[in-house]
């Protein structure tokens, strides 16, 4: 383990942060403005005011005065809404410092930015006034939450019913045509890839590419201006912010929540030698993780890692979350590489890290959902299941097991005549991953997903055995090599009708598993439409038709959309599919499940059947333990072998019939429900699922 860096004035961050760090940035009051900047190591800090049109023309400078706690402050009438400004900071040249008194730096708390060209940025004072019209947050219960992860630009860029002026914008995302899609699909919560202001890496510029996903943050408070309409961009950062708030308000009016994917683990300043745009020039020693000689401790793979063991860095994260939750009124956050934020002064992860606890305990964040991506690339960086109460986590164990069961296991069985494993591990994931998340946290701690922005789309997952990333300019070296995918007999596009039909069924099986599992499901935007990226599993650098959603759908894509809509509706209508708690042995636990497991013969599953690779057929019966909804019981059949099977419906006390609700074997979901009796034999096609309501 590397040694922590010595810092001049830092101390361990505490759950109740020092009030001395309140009100950083610019605050307008009484016809003037006060600017407050923290730097514990600087010798001087200077406010630089720039011309409204020529960012290189410095019109005024104001020295900031330091107090005993490292706060540099000035009150001036020069700062007013619309003012372009920067900071100049000088300091000692000791190891770990990166001061340069000539560099114009961004205020870390600026609410808006403007650009004068590549790498040339200024902060802007923003009028934050906005009329919310009495619209509040939807407050969707967690057990009813269905996340929809998408990109602001990619969602509406090609939508034929969104006006061209709104294509790919915040306003376009909230257009009635988009809201109609979200609502008809049945999702409750739109999770947006980063909308904090970001920049493309210099390396991408050299390749003629651009950062599309946005995981390269310039400012934790400023929205990304490129996603605003041209009219808002012309008007300036205040109009951009109003458009963001307008998007949130319209989505809230439609009953839809907004969750932001936020990147607090690193910044666009990259490694040593990268851009000096803000934190590096203000107080590199305290903001970034370093060894004693000043070398960065990079646990993110992006060149630097924010040092959240110091007050200043931790408060920056917490204050940013407070701002977006309360001023922009978003409903939650997905914290990218959240394990980095939980590393202490020795760079080791701890679930009781003061910042992680502060995020959960902060009253200002009480009504927002906190989702962790529970890993980074540093030592001890894989922490799935290890975050504390109040956190929800991306469950990569769920993703991998579900992909294995429906794809790589089936591929293996074609070559070896039997699958490598039985159905037991898959069943554990289906029932809420109790082997990963504690009883205290329950199944809703798990964010279940099969695909995400990072990796293959659903369609590509069933169409490619290997990644095809040559267009990224890295000779196909980038992107994951282990995808647990299966092309079903041909790599990529094919005219083979049998292969195409099998791929379509595999997509339905994956979506069915996702939406019928205990936990909170997350759908990747476009998977419901069968979107492809032509085998690229790391399309972060493509801002093009490759990554934008195509809304012109073939018949089979319309069918897939109908299946997704049906599955979400079934989930909503059946409480037994969305438990809140894990059951306790020998007790009746409210809002949990009473689970029973049967084989294809309608008999209770034996221990041998759980692990036998030759018997991958299961009947899962889940009965709710009502707390606020009526009693409900479902039966889900799962058949993970490429040959048909006959399944005998189990005889269960109190069950007189089974009503068929959904089948993955159908090209388009049935519009009528059919009844079946206990003991009746039901044919199940190869590798398929079928859901019943038990009455």
Catalytic residue among 201, 257, 373, 600: 373
* C-alpha separations of 460 from 151, 464, 491, 492 in Å: 18, 6, 10, 8
d(CA 368, CA 383): 22
d(CA 192, CA 21): 29
d(CA 186, CA 567): 9
With tokens 């602001």, the residue in question is 152
d(CA 659, CA 641): 24
End-to-end CA distance of the chain: 58
Is 336 one of the annotated active-site residues of the chain? Answer: yes
CB atoms within 10 A of CB 16: 9
For 433, residues 6+ apart whose C-beta sits below 8 A from its C-beta are 385, 395, 397, 398, 443, 446, 518, 519
d(CA 219, CA 279): 10
Is 120 one of the annotated active-site residues of the chain? Answer: no
What is residue 6's DSSP assignment? P
The encoded tokens of residue 652 equal 């269960």
Catalytic residue among 286, 331, 336, 460: 336
DSSP per-residue string spanning 14-25: -SS--GGGTT-E
Name the 3-class secondary structure at 596.
Answer: strand
Listed in order, strand segments (DSSP E) in 42-166 are 44-50, 58-66, 71-76, 84-90, 112-117, 120-124, 147-150
How many CA within 13 A on the CB side of residue 342? 29
Among 340, 483, 477, 329, which Cα is nearest to 399's?
483
Q: What is the DSSP pairing of strand 112-117 with strand 120-124?
A: antiparallel
Q: Which residues are catalytic?
A: 336, 373
């Amino acid at each position: 383990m590397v040694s922590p860096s010595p810092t001049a004035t830092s101390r361990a961050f505490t759950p109740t942060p020092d009030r001395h760090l309140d009100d950083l940035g610019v605050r307008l009051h009484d016809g003037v403005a006060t600017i407050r900047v923290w730097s514990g190591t600087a010798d001087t800090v200077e406010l630089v005011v720039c011309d409204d049109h020529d960012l290189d023309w410095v019109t005024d400078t104001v020295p900031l005065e330091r107090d005993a706690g490292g706060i540099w402050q000035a009150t001036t009438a020069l700062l007013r809404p619309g003012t372009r400004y920067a900071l100049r900071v000088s300091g000692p040249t000791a190891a770990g410092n990166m001061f340069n008194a000539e560099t114009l730096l961004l205020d870390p708390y600026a609410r808006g930015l403007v650009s004068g060209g590549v790498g040339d940025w200024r902060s802007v004072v923003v009028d934050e006034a906005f009329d919310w019209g009495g619209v509040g947050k939807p407050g969707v219960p967690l057990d009813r939450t269905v996340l929809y992860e998408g990109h602001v630009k990619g969602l509406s860029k090609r939508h034929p019913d969104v006006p061209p002026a709104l294509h790919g914008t915040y306003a376009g995302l909230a257009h009635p045509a988009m809201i109609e899609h979200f609502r008809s699909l049945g999702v409750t919560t739109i999770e947006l890839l980063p909308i904090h202001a970001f920049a493309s890496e210099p390396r991408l510029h050299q390749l003629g590419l651009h950062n599309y996903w946005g995981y390269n943050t310039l400012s934790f408070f400023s929205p990304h201006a490129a996603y605003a309409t041209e009219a808002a961009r012309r008007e300036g950062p205040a109009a951009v912010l109003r458009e963001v708030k307008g998007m949130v308000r319209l989505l809230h009016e439609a009953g839809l929540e907004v969750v932001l994917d936020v990147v607090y683990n690193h910044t666009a300043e990259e490694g040593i030698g990268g851009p000096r745009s803000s934190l590096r020039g203000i107080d590199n020693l305290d903001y970034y993780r370093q060894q004693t000689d000043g070398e960065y401790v990079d646990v993110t793979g992006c060149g630097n890692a924010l040092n959240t063991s110091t007050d200043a860095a931790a408060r920056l994260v917490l204050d940013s979350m407070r701002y977006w939750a309360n001023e922009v009124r978003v409903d939650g956050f997905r914290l990218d590489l959240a394990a980095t934020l939980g590393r202490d002064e020795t760079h080791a992860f701890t679930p009781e890290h003061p910042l992680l606890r502060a995020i959960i305990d902060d009253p200002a964040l009480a009504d927002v959902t906190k989702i962790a991506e529970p890993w980074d690339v540093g030592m001890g960086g894989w922490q799935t299941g290890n975050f504390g109460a109040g956190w929800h986590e991306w469950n990569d164990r769920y993703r991998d097991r579900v992909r294995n069961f429906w794809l790589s296991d089936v591929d293996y069985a074609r070559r070896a005549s039997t699958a490598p494993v039985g159905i037991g591990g898959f069943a554990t994931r289906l029932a809420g991953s109790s082997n990963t998340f504690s009883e205290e946290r329950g199944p809703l701690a798990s964010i279940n997903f099969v695909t995400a922005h990072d990796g293959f789309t659903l369609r590509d997952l069933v169409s490619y055995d290997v990644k095809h990333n040559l267009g990224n300019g890295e000779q196909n070296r980038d992107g994951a090599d282990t995808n647990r995918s299966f092309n079903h007999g041909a790599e990529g596009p094919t005219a083979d009708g049998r292969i195409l039909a099998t791929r379509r069924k595999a997509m339905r099986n994956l979506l069915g598993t996702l939406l019928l599992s205990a936990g909170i499901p997350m759908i990747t935007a476009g998977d419901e439409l069968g979107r492809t990226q032509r085998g690229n599993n790391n399309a972060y650098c493509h801002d093009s038709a490759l990554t934008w959603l195509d809304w012109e759908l073939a018949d089979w894509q319309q069918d897939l959309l109908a299946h997704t809509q049906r599955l979400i509706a079934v989930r909503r209508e059946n409480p037994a599919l969305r438990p809140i708690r894990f059951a306790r042995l020998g007790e009746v636990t409210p809002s949990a499940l009473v689970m029973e497991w049967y084989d294809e013969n309608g008999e209770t599953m034996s221990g041998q059947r759980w692990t036998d690779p030759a018997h991958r057929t299961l009947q899962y019966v889940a009965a709710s333990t009502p707390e606020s909804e009526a009693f409900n019981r479902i039966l889900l059949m799962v058949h993970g072998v490429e040959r048909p099977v006959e399944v005998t419906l189990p005889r269960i006390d109190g069950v007189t019939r089974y009503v068929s609700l959904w089948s993955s074997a159908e090209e388009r979901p049935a519009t009528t429900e059919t009844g079946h009796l206990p003991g009746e034999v039901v044919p199940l096609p190869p590798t398929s699922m079928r859901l019943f309501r038990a009455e």
